[in-house]
């Protein structure tokens, strides 16, 4: 009897397990589903991105796009984890320009060189193609052509007795001292110097604005020198003097926006998206109508007029996606001139044709913010610097973030911290 019971039990167990295994998804007829990974941070809002997906799905009944969002700082690791499975968890993903060397080497991104028409090549900014191009091959469509801008609160600056924003960082310090003396705000400027990529972006602005650079022409680190040390010392001094908000050491871009939106800072450095949200969105800002943008200052005597960071991103199709054609169709739609013009409130088009002739007037009128951000883009972009395109970028960046933070928290001298990071970069390049 017991044997019979045992056999019955085992049979039951096998049936249960088999039914669980049988739950694997089946291929069904109907529209092809394209899964997209994007980010919720600097750039278009989730509402805008969802609206674009809605337009695409309505126009393409045979394709169904599903989109997900993560924060910028989770994006890289989410992509690399998703690519470990076949087929990958996402058919399309947003990638930062600093990751394309790594992703193309790892074989994650589809080579789209043959899908780019001559017309697209001619009409899109050459600097935009640089984002998604590695060794002459195009691995995706450029999308977010962004750089950091200098923002100031005109009302507070006028209260302090100044009629124009600073042109140099030295002038910013002078104005800040006056702002503090008049008790207008406690800390005149807020930065994103937290242990994130954001710190590298702000550091590039200051370093290049001091005549320095991250890498030399041979790919060797070039920041552990006089320009690097002087720049880092200026940052430390600005915290010690109460000019920089000391919490900047733990902040990312959204913290900068929150502090600036409360009128707690007169100056801020952030991406394009902040202008509309701070100056026009009364739900999220207490300083609407008071904000202006100006050319990013540089250091006096450096011979540099202005410098900023190129923070551009592109959309790519996963190399292992089973639905590459449908996925590419969505990427082309998302980056098309029409969509980019109509949704230009928080990112500007990659299409140089949008900035020409009558189109420019139209572009400046699409949203209230565009009247300011479009001319600012044209003025600032020639001064935007790119970060190195190397396959080991995430590790190199983290070591430099550590160096900056060690100096800012006074664990190491700027010289020591930068030398250590440079040694790590040399090691990684081997």
Partner 1 sequence: MRRKFSLAQQDALIGFGLILPSLLIILGISLQPILSTLYLSVFESSRGINMERIFVGFGNYTALLSDSVFWVTIGRTLYFTLVSVGLELVLGLAIAQLIHSHPPGWQFLRTSLIIPWAVPTIVNGTMWRWIYNADYGALNGLLLQLGLIDKYIPWLTRPDMAMNLVILADIWHSVPFIALILQAALATLPTDLEEAAAVDGANALQRFLLIRLPLLRPAILVALVIRTVEAFRVFDIIYVITNGGPAFGTVTISYLTYLETFSFGNVGRGSALSFLISIFTLIMAFIYIRVLYRPEESQ
Q: Based on CB atoms, which residue is closest to partner 1, 5 or 26?
A: 5
Residues in the chain: 430
Long-range pairs of 221-224 with CB within 8 A, sequence gap ≥ 24: 221/421, 221/422, 221/425, 221/426, 223/400, 223/418, 223/421, 223/422, 224/415, 224/418, 224/419, 224/421, 224/422
Q: Minimum distance between the CB of residue 82 and partner 1, rounded to whole angstroms?
A: 11
**Selected binder of partner 1 within 2, 23, 118, 181 (CB under 8 A):** 2
First-to-last alpha carbon distance for the chain, in angstroms, is 70
Q: Based on CB atoms, which residue is closest to partner 1, 360 or 429?
A: 429
Q: Minimum distance between the CB of residue 267 and partner 1, rounded to whole angstroms?
A: 15
Query: Which residues in the 85-104 window bind partner 1 by CB under 8 A?
Result: 102
Q: Give the C-alpha separation, 74 to 262, whole Å.
A: 27
Token pair listed for 252: 């990312």
**Does residue number 250 form part of the binding site for partner 1 (CB under 8 A)?**
yes
**Selected binder of partner 1 within 262, 286, 356, 378 (CB under 8 A):** 262
**Selected binder of partner 1 within 264, 329, 387, 389 (CB under 8 A):** 264
Q: Containing H/E element for 94?
A: strand 92-96
**Does residue number 16 form part of the binding site for partner 1 (CB under 8 A)?**
yes
**Does residue number 137 form part of the binding site for partner 1 (CB under 8 A)?**
no
Dihedral-angle region of residue 212 (phi above 0 means left; psi in -120 to 50 means alpha; beta otherwise): beta
Q: Minimum distance between the CB of residue 83 and partner 1, rounded to whole angstroms?
A: 7
Q: How many residues bind partner 1 (CB under 8 A)?
A: 48
Binding mask 319-358 for partner 1 (x = CB under 8 A): xx--------------------------------------
Backbone angles phi, psi at 217, to 5 degrees: -65, -25
Q: Based on CB atoms, which residue is closest to partner 1, 112 or 376?
A: 112
CA distances from 56 to 40, 62, 65, 91 (A): 20, 11, 8, 16
Q: Find out whether 140 and 316 touch, Cβ atoms under 8 Å.
A: yes
**Does residue number 409 form part of the binding site for partner 1 (CB under 8 A)?**
yes
**Does residue number 4 form part of the binding site for partner 1 (CB under 8 A)?**
no
Q: Containing H/E element for 82?
A: helix 72-82
Q: Which stretch binds partner 1 (CB under 8 A): 208-216, 225-233, 324-332, 391-399?
A: 391-399
Exposed e or buried b per residue across 348-364, where buried means at least 16 C-beta atoms within 10 angstroms of its C-beta: bbbbeebbeeebeeebb
DSSP 383: G
Exposed e or buried b per residue across 52-63, where buried means at least 16 C-beta atoms within 10 angstroms of its C-beta: bbebbbeebeeb
**Selected binder of partner 1 within 49, 63, 75, 83 (CB under 8 A):** 83
**Does residue number 282 form part of the binding site for partner 1 (CB under 8 A)?**
no
**Selected binder of partner 1 within 112, 134, 408, 422 (CB under 8 A):** 408
**Which residues contact partner 1 by CB under 8 A?**
2-3, 5-6, 9-10, 13, 16-17, 73, 76-77, 80-81, 83-84, 102, 105-108, 186, 194-196, 245-247, 249-250, 255, 258-259, 262, 264, 319-320, 392, 394-395, 398, 401-402, 405-406, 408-409, 411
């Amino acid at each position: 009897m017991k044997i019979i019971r045992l056999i019955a039990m085992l049979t039951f167990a096998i049936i249960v397990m088999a039914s669980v295994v049988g739950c694997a998804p089946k291929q069904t007829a109907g529209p092809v589903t394209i899964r997209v990974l994007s980010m919720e941070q600097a750039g278009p809002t989730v509402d805008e991105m969802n609206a674009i997906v809605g337009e695409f799905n309505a126009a393409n009944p045979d394709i169904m796009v599903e989109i997900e969002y993560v924060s910028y700082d989770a994006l890289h690791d989410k992509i690399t984890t998703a690519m470990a499975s076949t087929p990958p968890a996402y058919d399309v993903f947003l990638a930062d320009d600093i990751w394309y060397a790594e992703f193309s080497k790892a074989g994650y991104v589809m080579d789209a060189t043959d899908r780019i028409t001559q017309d697209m090549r001619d009409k899109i900014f050459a600097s935009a193609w640089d984002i998604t191009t590695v060794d002459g091959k195009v691995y995706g469509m450029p999308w977010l052509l962004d750089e950091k801008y200098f923002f100031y609160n005109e009302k507070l600056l006028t209260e302090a007795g100044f009629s124009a924003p600073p042109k140099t960082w030295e002038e910013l310090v002078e104005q800040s001292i006056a702002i503090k003396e008049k008790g207008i705000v406690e800390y005149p400027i807020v930065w994103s110097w937290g242990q994130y990529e954001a710190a590298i972006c702000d550091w590039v602005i200051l370093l290049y604005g001091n005549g320095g650079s991250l890498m030399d022409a041979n790919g060797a680190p070039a920041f552990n020198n006089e320009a690097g040390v002087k720049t880092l010392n200026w940052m430390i001094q600005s915290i010690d003097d109460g000019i920089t908000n000391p919490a900047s050491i733990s902040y990312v871009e959204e913290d900068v926006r929150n502090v600036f939106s409360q009128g707690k800072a007169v100056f801020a450095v952030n991406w394009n998206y902040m202008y509309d949200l701070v100056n026009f969105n009364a739900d999220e800002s207490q300083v609407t109508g008071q904000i202006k943008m100006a050319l990013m200052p540089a250091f006096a005597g450096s011979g540099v007029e202005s410098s900023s960071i190129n923070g551009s991103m592109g959309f790519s199709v996963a190399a292992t996606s089973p639905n590459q054609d449908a996925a590419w169709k969505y990427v082309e739609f998302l980056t098309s001139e029409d969509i980019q013009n109509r949704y230009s409130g928080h990112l500007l088009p990659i299409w140089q044709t949008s900035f020409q002739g009558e189109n420019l007037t139209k572009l400046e009128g699409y949203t209230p913010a565009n009247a300011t951000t479009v001319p600012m883009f044209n003025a600032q972009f020639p001064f935007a610097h790119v970060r190195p395109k190397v396959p080991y970028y995430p590790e190199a960046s983290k070591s430099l973030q550590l160096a900056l933070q060690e100096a800012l928290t006074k664990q190491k001298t700027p010289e020591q911290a930068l030398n250590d990071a440079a040694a790590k970069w040399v090691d990684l390049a081997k």
